[in-house]
Structure 1
Amino acid sequence: MALKTVDYTERPDLWKRMPELFEGVWPEYNLHGDVIPGYWDRLHELFGNYQLVSHDPDTDDVLATARGIPCRWDGSHESLGPGLDAAIVAGFAEHDAGIAPNTLCALGIEVAPRHQGRKLATTMLEALRSTARAAGFGHVIVPLRPTWKDRYPLVPIGRYASWTREDGAAFDPWIRTHLRGGGVVAAAIPESSLITGTIAEWESWTGLSFPETGDYVFPHGLATVRIDREAEMGTYWEPNVWMVHESGLSR
């Protein structure tokens, strides 16, 4: 199958089928972040050329997507910031202030369930690098969501990110893919994206009951959710790992 990658400004119609084709890619709780939903429509309006789709040009079947936001970064690992939420807020603030970007921050890569296992995530990662290169940006930075972290929700993200297999390769498959693609691990962020909701909402999202105040492991969670029965609220911070890629821009 010969695939083609286009951005939102070229084929906005392809995005109309996303909810149906990509159902189940993200755990339900991940669809209810405190920050991201408020920026979603404006992301496509202002930064449509950084929202990418891989599709079959013969059938228009959508296989994978990659989303990004341009930002300003000084190149130091220390200044990458506290994670996904902060990167989104900063990207829009910098745009509104007229600050010229020099970096592309990847917000997520999704592969339709029936097309998984075909290394399309790697294809979309390279598409983000190509897009950054075409825009004159030197780097792609990624607040990565480790694939297997939900198997070890009680392990701090810094320790988890440092794990390796017996052959010396990174333990986590998604971190390993980024490293093989030339990326480097820059920082582990324990509080990257905030998700809060009522206890009823968290019970709906997870299928669990939370009888008392405390920290709970839950399905697909990368860390624990803090349940406060008195406040009737659940609070969860999704951890991420900052990865840094050179775009391949000639200097």
Structure 2
Amino acid sequence: MNTPSAPVDGLTVTTLAERPELVGPLWAMPDNWPVFVPHDPVGALLMHRVRDEFPEYVLVATDAEGAVVARGFSVPFALHAEGRGHLPDRGWDQVLTWAFTDRAAALAPDTVSAIEITIVPGMQGKGLSGRMLAAMRDNARARGFREVVAPVRPSAKHLEPATPMSAYAYRVRESDGLPADPWLRVHARAGAVIDKVAPASMTVSGSLAQWREWTGLAFDTAGPVEVPGALVPVHCEPAGGYAVYVEPNVWVRHAL
């Protein structure tokens, strides 16, 4: 059994709108995302715009010395607009796109979606993820929203890339019935319920040369390739000279 680390004393969580001077440290904050994730084209195009255009939905946590130790991105969107009403199968990519198309169309948002909660490496296990999630819920509630949703990237799924997400997401512990996955468990403890799997939440495609550069793997055999940090195998097509990663996530809903 892992022993939790001591909580971070003197933690302050604010929005980027309240502390715009923290934009540099927030953006430069180290993380442990897999190296291929930033190559998702939707995220590459829009994440900096979340920072710039939705600062009131961007959270930043500082410790007692003022160092940035965690960040959280969320976006408002119109889940119940005409033609929607259901959380999208394209998960992270789709909700991020909706946030900006809704903004451009002056469509009133009715829901907030979490986009990212990241903790500085070495600070995990201190309860920061739960505190950032609580702050994100509180921020949405304070702005008049009644629901926060999240396309969750289960934190231990990369250890079982061959397990279907439809089986992994609903696995629970016998001791308390909570999700077996640590990050899904944090959401459940905060009151979230699993809605469904988003089978194509994020897509990263690249040439074989790019995938070799990103991962250090050969990518010379057709079919699935297990990549460190990937939740499912990457599909390799040597004859075509490319490989594609389609990441499933898990939609959860937080009533406020």
TM-score class, shorter: over 0.9
Q: 2:206 aligns with which of 197, 200, 207?
A: 197
1:37 to 2:44 alignment = yes
Question: Which runs of 5 or more residues in structure 2 are unaligned?
Answer: 1-8
Query: How far apart, CA to CA, are the structure 1 residues paired with 2:217 and 2:255?
Result: 42
Query: How far apart, CA to CA, are the structure 2 residues paired with 1:14 and 1:95?
Result: 24
Percent same amino acid at aligned positions? 34
Q: TM-score, normalised by structure 2?
A: 0.90
Contact map agreement 1:188 1:241 (CA 8 A) in 2:
yes
Question: Which runs of 5 or more residues in structure 1 are unaligned?
Answer: none
Q: 1:220 aligns to what SS in structure 2? A: coil
The amino acid across from 1:11 in the alignment is: R
Displaced runs of 4 or more, over 6 A: none
Q: C-alpha displacement at 1:65, in angstroms?
A: 0.7
Q: C-alpha displacement at 1:20, in angstroms?
A: 4.9
Query: How far apart, CA to CA, are the structure 2 residues paired with 1:116 and 1:189?
Result: 26
Q: 2:225 aligns with which of 216, 219, 226?
A: 216
Query: How far apart, CA to CA, are the structure 2 residues paired with 1:13 and 1:170?
Result: 38
Query: How far apart, CA to CA, are the structure 1 residues paired with 2:49 and 2:208?
Result: 30
Contact map agreement 1:66 1:124 (CA 8 A) in 2:
yes
The amino acid across from 1:117 in the alignment is: G
Residue 154 of structure 1 corresponds to which residue in structure 2? 162
Query: How far apart, CA to CA, are the structure 1 residues paired with 2:166 and 2:40?
Result: 22
The amino acid across from 1:246 in the alignment is: A
Residue 81 of structure 1 corresponds to which residue in structure 2? 88
Q: 2:187 aligns to what SS in structure 1? A: helix
Residue 67 of structure 1 corresponds to which residue in structure 2? 73
Q: 1:142 aligns with which of 143, 150, 170?
A: 150
1:187 to 2:196 alignment = yes
Q: Deviations over 1:101-140 (max 9, x none)?
A: 1111000100111322111000000111011011101011
Q: 1:27 aligns with which of 34, 38, 42?
A: 34
Q: Deviations over 1:157-204 (max 9, x none)?
A: 111111122222211111111111100000112211111111111112
Q: C-alpha displacement at 1:231, in angstroms?
A: 2.1
1:49 to 2:92 alignment = no
Q: 2:252 aligns with which of 233, 239, 243?
A: 243
The amino acid across from 1:60 in the alignment is: G
Query: How far apart, CA to CA, are the structure 2 residues paired with 1:229 and 1:13?
Result: 47
Query: How far apart, CA to CA, are the structure 1 residues paired with 2:166 and 2:100?
Result: 28
Query: How far apart, CA to CA, are the structure 2 residues paired with 1:214 and 1:133?
Result: 45
Contact map agreement 1:163 1:170 (CA 8 A) in 2:
yes
Aligned residues: 244
Q: C-alpha displacement at 1:233, in angstroms?
A: 1.1
Q: 2:33 aligns to what SS in structure 1? A: coil
